[in-house]
Chain A
Amino acid sequence: MIRTKKMVKTRLSGPKHSLKKLINELHAMKLIHLIDYRGEEFETGNSFSEAEEISEKLIKLRAMISRFKLNLNPRIIKDLKVCEQRFSQIFSSYHSLTAEISSLNERKKELEAKKGSIEPITSLQLSPEYFSGYESLTVFKGTVKKQIPEQKISETTKDFELFSSNFEGKNVIALFVPTEQKEKIQSLISEYGFSELHFEEETNLKELDSELFSIEKQLSSLNSKLDSLKEKEGQFLIDYEFNLEKETEKLEAPLKFAVTENAFIIEGWIPKKEAKEMQEKLNKLTEDKIFIETFEEKGAPTALENPSMVKPFEFFMNLYSLPKYAEIDPTFLVFITFPLFFGFMLGDVGYGIVTLIAFLVLRKKIKGEAKLLINSLIVASLATILFGFIFGEAFGFEFVEHPILNRVHDLDLMLLISIVVGLIHITLGFLVGFYNVMIQHDFKEAVFEKGSWLVIEAGGLLVISEMLLSMTSFGNILGGILILAGIVMLFKGEGVQGLVELPSLLSNTLSYARLFAVGLASVQLALIINAFATDFFQQGGIMIGAAVLILLLGHFVNILLGLLGPFLHSLRLHYVEFFGKFYKGGGKRFIPFGTEKNNA
């Protein structure tokens, strides 16, 4: 619980012909975290020959899945061989359908372009044959941005005929001029933003429309065929892709191994507990053809191991950084203090119950990593209810006349409690740090690196208590000596860097004042909401409705703020003040071969 799962390194070597069987077994066991071979003595292996065929299939599958926009949960398929026939049938019908659809779409675009150029011209009410077959006449047909005044044209030539109309907000013209004036007219009309419309004279608008209509009909029938294919085979495609992907994982595994002409070497990490069982199983499977060694080594990956109650709080470790293998896993400590801090800040029976219900409902709907977060917040909500009883508060109302602690009035006491809690938490951090250094290095280093802080802390406490209470005459002197001794030890342990961090002891402790400050802000807001609503209630009549609205809206907003504030501040106290005392982090995650990457 406090330590990460114990790992041992294992090395499997044997003849190549048993490799495939071995990989299948390792994949099914989901126990070994494979290490890529990076040495120079051997070559790395090649993926098995089937890998290529499967990745081709995967490309086809993924194309279909993305076109169908499938979003289903995959299931395990036992026998992949049976699926091959079905898959190739699906793909061939998919392929022919999509090919037909795209060729129809192309034809449709072509027709629409034609229609787009011929339609404006028909609005001129001129027969198509008028536009061609002249010897001495040139026709400009197209659209202009501004109307061309006839007198402008007559400045160039008197012999002209201009037809114009309006089609969907565009000015359409057909201008007939003598061919010898062609260039001059061309430059004139280009000033008016002329753009030519091309079309073939024999095109018939009616024919176009009827062809478009039939294409539309064919397209919709093809699309409905595609839809029914999706309905029928969608789940199969998802399943098949999922299982093939696993298959490739196996087929490509040799890329991580060292191989010679006839033998292979696999290296990886396995949990120490399961090492023996795995060894026996593999020996039996390969009839003792492979050689298995296990040994301890540095650099093992991290697998957190916590009871199910504590497990949700692993979320905070994932968010921050996983502990290194040899480090202490602080999840359990976070499990104890995070809900307490959260509850102390929010501390309201009503808010606690509302958030508890909200999270219990949410828990059913959410999957994956976020579920851990919700579960940890459920524990935090329970703590909120507990502190609500201690403070005697529900939705800001004091429902107990003399609660154990009144956080609105006992400000000084609340501040004192916060600081004392901070001191305890920080001391706990140093103690964990002490243990951490001790198991990683030795006792002496732990004393200088972390013990020094404890000595300084003790000295500081002595001086402060002497100043406040003046019980003895030597408290100041003793405290001063302790602080000095601690500073010397710290300098020996951590050098100048340690000395620079000295003031942080004070600032970190004061930082715990937020424990009561955040709560005070929350409860004051609740009081304001309640006072406001009470005013409206007293006015009676319709105002009662307004009062209810204020209560609902106000407390809703305050609960949202009350979740965000205490969550972030509690998290911060752990990450900055607490973890700063001992935590290194940066561990590699233990991902056993055979577990899906997105589930890890």
Chain B
Amino acid sequence: MVELELGLIAIGAGIALAGSAYAAAIAEKEIGTAAVGAMAEKEELFGKGLILTVIPETIVIFGLVVAIMILGLADKIPVTG
């Protein structure tokens, strides 16, 4: 049953990406709110605010790398019948 194994691999990759994306979203939400608040007080903080807001984005990239590595497992499944 190659199909089932492939499906599980796909689901695993999906979970890796979805989980990390969700985590990044939560983190960015908090930082973004604070950054906008700070910007309302002082507009020059836009650059700094932007940087702080996008820092958690790296989490998604990690998720993506893990997902690609999981997808790489698909090559290792022996083709049976």
Known: A507-B58, A572-B54. A415 touches B65 (CB 8 A): yes
The smallest C-beta distance from B9 to any residue of chain A, in angstroms, reads: 15
Contact A576 B55 (CB under 8 A): yes
Instruction: Give the nearest-CB partner of B54 in chain A.
Output: A572
Known: A319-B46, A507-B58, A510-B58. A517 touches B64 (CB 8 A): yes
Instruction: Give the nearest-CB partner of B46 in chain A.
Output: A319
Question: Chain B residues near A571 (CB, 8 Å)?
Answer: 50
A576 to B61, CA, bound (A): 15
Determine whether A427 belongs to the interface, using a CB cutoff of 8 Å to chain B.
no
Contact B65 A513 (CB under 8 A): yes
Question: Chain A residues near B64 (CB, 8 Å)?
Answer: 513, 517
Contact of B47 among A321, A411, A511, A513 (CB under 8 A): A321
Determine whether B34 belongs to the interface, using a CB cutoff of 8 Å to chain A.
no
> How many of chain A's residues have a CB under 8 angstroms from any CB in B?
18
Contact A575 B58 (CB under 8 A): no
A568 to B54, CA, bound (A): 9
SS class, residues of chain B in contact with chain A: helix
SS class, residues of chain A in contact with chain B: helix
Among B46, B50, B61, which residue has the most Cβ atoms of chain A within 10 A?
Answer: B61
Known: A411-B68, A415-B65, A415-B68. A514 touches B47 (CB 8 A): no
Instruction: Give the nearest-CB partner of B52 in chain A.
Output: A576
Determine whether B51 belongs to the interface, using a CB cutoff of 8 Å to chain A.
yes
The smallest C-beta distance from A580 to any residue of chain B, in angstroms, reads: 9
The smallest C-beta distance from A530 to any residue of chain B, in angstroms, reads: 23
The smallest C-beta distance from A426 to any residue of chain B, in angstroms, reads: 14
The 8 A CB mask of A568-600 against B (1 = contact, 0 = none) is 110110011000000000000000000000000
A319 to B49, CA, bound (A): 11
Interface positions of A from 492 to 551, Cβ below 8 Å from B: 507, 510-511, 513-514, 517
Contact B51 A511 (CB under 8 A): no
The smallest C-beta distance from A147 to any residue of chain B, in angstroms, reads: 53
The smallest C-beta distance from B35 to any residue of chain A, in angstroms, reads: 13
A571 to B68, CA, bound (A): 25
Question: Chain A residues near B50 (CB, 8 Å)?
Answer: 319, 568, 571-572, 575
A414 to B2, CA, bound (A): 28
Interface positions of A from 197 to 231, Cβ below 8 Å from B: none
Question: Chain A residues near B54 (CB, 8 Å)?
Answer: 568, 572, 576
Known: A320-B47, A411-B68, A575-B50. A514 touches B57 (CB 8 A): yes
Interface positions of B from 46 to 79, Cβ below 8 Å from A: 46-48, 50-51, 54-55, 57-58, 61-62, 64-65, 68, 72
Question: Chain A residues near B51 (CB, 8 Å)?
Answer: 320, 572, 575-576
A510 to B65, CA, bound (A): 8
Contact A510 B47 (CB under 8 A): no
The smallest C-beta distance from A12 to any residue of chain B, in angstroms, reads: 32
Contact B68 A575 (CB under 8 A): no
A569 to B65, CA, bound (A): 17
Instruction: Give the nearest-CB partner of A585 in chain B.
Output: B47
The 8 A CB mask of A45-78 against B (1 = contact, 0 = none) is 0000000000000000000000000000000000
Known: A320-B47, A415-B68, A571-B50. A510 touches B55 (CB 8 A): no
Instruction: Give the nearest-CB partner of B47 in chain A.
Output: A320
The smallest C-beta distance from A415 to any residue of chain B, in angstroms, reads: 7
The smallest C-beta distance from B16 to any residue of chain A, in angstroms, reads: 13
A128 to B46, CA, bound (A): 68
The smallest C-beta distance from A595 to any residue of chain B, in angstroms, reads: 19
Interface positions of B from 21 to 55, Cβ below 8 Å from A: 46-48, 50-51, 54-55
The 4 closest A-B pairs by CB, nearest first: A320-B47, A572-B54, A319-B47, A575-B51
What are 21 inter-chain pairs, A to B, with CB distance below 8 A? A319-B50, A320-B48, A320-B51, A415-B65, A415-B68, A507-B58, A510-B62, A511-B61, A513-B61, A513-B64, A513-B65, A514-B57, A514-B61, A517-B61, A517-B64, A569-B57, A571-B50, A572-B51, A575-B51, A576-B54, A576-B55
